Amino acid sequence: MRAFPARLRAVTLWSLLLPVGWLSGCETNPYTGRSQFLMTSASDEMKMGAQAYDQVKSDPKMKQSQDPREIDPVKRVAARIIEAAKRSKYAEMAQQFQWEVTVFKDDKTANAFALPGGKMAVYTGIFPMARTEAGLAAVMGHEVVHALARHGAERMSQGQATSIGIQVLGTAAGVGTGNAALGQATMAALGVGAQVGMLLPFSRQHESEADYIGILLAADAGYDPRESVALWERMARMSGGGAPAEFMSTHPSNETRIDQLKKWMPEAMAIYQSKPSVPAAELPPIGR
């Protein structure tokens, strides 16, 4: 099989995907103006979010916290972030969501998520990194933006389009059912190329977009957006330099993230200073 230069392979792949784009929906992010390629409807996305949330909550390995000291601060922050979302440029989407938040008692997992439809979860392991309700607002604002901005649907759409393009390229290269081994190798090679060169940069773009809009939501909710910088500085210290190189990661590096947050801070501070501020109560200790 003839080996094409990497640049030509990328151009060929995108030319094969163009017809898919013509048959799909596009939206524009109201904050950044970025065009989004979508192949999934918002209603289907919300259904998938609800199903995934039910599956997570029904997992016997997932223990929901019963401690009001852990639940109450999360619910306070969530309520304020939700109200900010309903005032935001995503107000129409936020009004459609059936919001819900769950606190999982897992002190070893520093994580949180928000699924399409407004289904949120916070793991208690994030408390030491967030430290205060303002730090938690930065985390939850970020996650809520992923749902409101339809980043999940966009990632699914990119994956579907890439899969279609890879299949077409395999056929065009003479890979058929008569040579299954070569077909698998070709698919794997193109998958790795697409993963590093195409899908990961989009994922980093989603993360940066969620960082930016997330601090605007947190500021509008009355939380000091400067806590987002402190949060990621703690993340950087706790990672101990063990994070993968940014080129191979779906997330911006900690340093990139902090620099971007500082660049966006004047806009967020202007919003924060126009709102009644919320006391940044300490989050409860974990490991009790």
HEC per residue, 65-117: CCCHHHHHHHHHHHHHHHHHHHHCCCHHHHHHCCCEEEEECCCCCCCEEEECC
DSSP 244: P
Q: Residue 105's domain spans which residues?
A: 14-172+185-273
Mean pLDDT in runs of 10 for the chain (288 residues)? 40 39 69 87 88 90 96 98 98 97 95 92 95 97 94 76 47 44 33 43 82 98 96 83 53 86 98 91 88
81 located within any domain: yes
180: Cβ–Cβ under 8 A, 6 or more apart, which residues? none
Inter-axis angle of helices 254-273 and 200-220, to 10 degrees?
30
Sign of CA dihedral 249, 250, 256, 257: negative
User: What was the pLDDT predicted at 266?
Assistant: 98
Question: In terms of Cα–Cα distance, which of 217, 190, 203, 206 is closest to 275?
Answer: 217
7 located within any domain: no
Question: Residue holding tokens 């409807």?
Answer: 41
281 located within any domain: no
Which residue type is seen at 175?
Answer: V
162: Cβ–Cβ under 8 A, 6 or more apart, which residues? 13, 17, 191, 194, 198, 199
Question: In terms of Cα–Cα distance, which of 209, 249, 203, 256 is closest to 229?
Answer: 256
Instruction: Give how far the C-alpha of residue 27 lies from the chain's centroid of Cα atoms, to the nearest Å.
Output: 17
Report the number of distinct structural domains present in the chain. Answer: 1
199 located within any domain: yes
Q: Which residues are catalytic?
A: 143
Sign of CA dihedral 20, 22, 27, 33: positive
255 located within any domain: yes
243: Cβ–Cβ under 8 A, 6 or more apart, which residues? 249, 253, 254
Which residue type is seen at 94?
Answer: A
Question: In terms of Cα–Cα distance, which of 32, 271, 21, 18 is closest to 151?
Answer: 32
User: What was the pLDDT predicted at 288?
Assistant: 65
Strands 100-104 and 119-123: parallel
Token output for 182: 């070569």
113 located within any domain: yes
User: What was the pLDDT predicted at 236?
Assistant: 83
Inter-axis angle of helices 151-172 and 133-148, to 10 degrees?
50
109 located within any domain: yes
Distance CA 144, CA 279 (A): 21
Adjacent-strand bridge partners of 27: 36
1 located within any domain: no
User: What was the pLDDT predicted at 154?
Assistant: 85
